[in-house]
Amino acid sequence: MFYQNKKQETMEIAEISFTQYILLYPPILSPRRFSVVRHKHQTSNYIHAKAYVPQGSVLRPILYLVYTADIPVHPNTHIATFADDTAIFSSNPNPHIVSASLRNHLSVIETWCRLWRIRINQAKCVYVTLTLRRQTCPPITFDKIPIPPANRVHYLGMYLDRGVTWNPHTRLKRTDLNRKYGLLRHLLKRNSKLSTENKLTLYNAILKPTRAYGVEVWGSAKKSNLDRIQAFQSKVLRTILDAPWGFLSDILDVRASTLKGTARPSSGSQGRSTSVTTPCP
């Protein structure tokens, strides 16, 4: 894949499996061009792009990575991007310094967005102060519009609350698990015609991934928060195995790991290379 700037100078960005077939030009060029340049010793003509890339196209994530690869960074902040979700972190004992660092970074991003004609959906922008203190970071603006504060933020399927207690996350995750279990109840109930093996397959394929997602991060929550999720697992497995209330030997036989048992080996392998930065301690 190649990138061509305003001076028509072509430079290679990345090598992927179909680099020999595709030349990609950024939308700042006029007109937009997308061309298949070589296939079986033949070269195609340039085609003017008159529409956006279709939803679900394999090119969409590639285009996004190309267009946002040069997003500005700042020495006093950390930026995390995944698909179209972007988070900016800053850490300092002084909340005023945190807000100042974020304002400086956002100011640079404003200029970058105007240059590349990228519009930020400010309706989805929030800022949250992660701290055990009573202090809150001063207000932050983007493009002269205040970013609303929040007590929790939803990022990559996890809810980060102000005190990082994971109470909202486990509560909402239990609600999501109950909803999914309600859809599968007729298949997992005690008098279902499905075999126990097939019931466990459904549990492992649909419910268990929801239960265990991100447990390496939120698995350190206090016992009362973890019990919400652990109680759900025990309830569902008792139904699947047709076991009486309080009888756990059959559950142990199917090797259904607890939340702490799931989190411990994963967090141990990742802890050597992963650090956690909070916006305002």
Element housing 22 (H / E): strand 22-24
pLDDT tens profile 164-221:
899 999 999 999 999 999 999 999 888 888 898 999 899 999 999 998 898 888 888 8
Which residue in this structure is represented by tokens 């340049």? 37
CB 21 within 8 A of CB 37: yes
Packing angle of the helix pair 167-188, 223-241 (nearest 10 deg): 0
Cα–Cα nearest to 89, from 224, 251, 280 = 280
What is the rounded distance in angstroms from the CA atom of residue 168 to the CA atom of residue 150?
Answer: 13
pLDDT at 275 over 60: no
Phi, psi of 146 (to 5 degrees): -65, 140
Average pLDDT over residues 110-127: 87
Question: What is the reported pLDDT for 273?
Answer: 32
- Of the pLDDT bands very low, low, confident and very high (cuts 50, 70, 90), residue 9 is very low
Task: Judge if pTM exceeds 0.85.
Answer: no
Most confidently modeled of 30-39, 85-94, 173-182, 223-232? 173-182
Question: If you count them, how many residues does the chain have?
Answer: 281
- Residue 265 in tokens: 């080996």
Packing angle of the helix pair 223-241, 259-270 (nearest 10 deg): 120
Residue 149 pairs in a beta bridge with 127
pLDDT at 229 over 80: yes
Element housing 9 (H / E): none
Share of the chain above pLDDT 70, in %: 69
Top-confidence residue, 82 or 5: 82
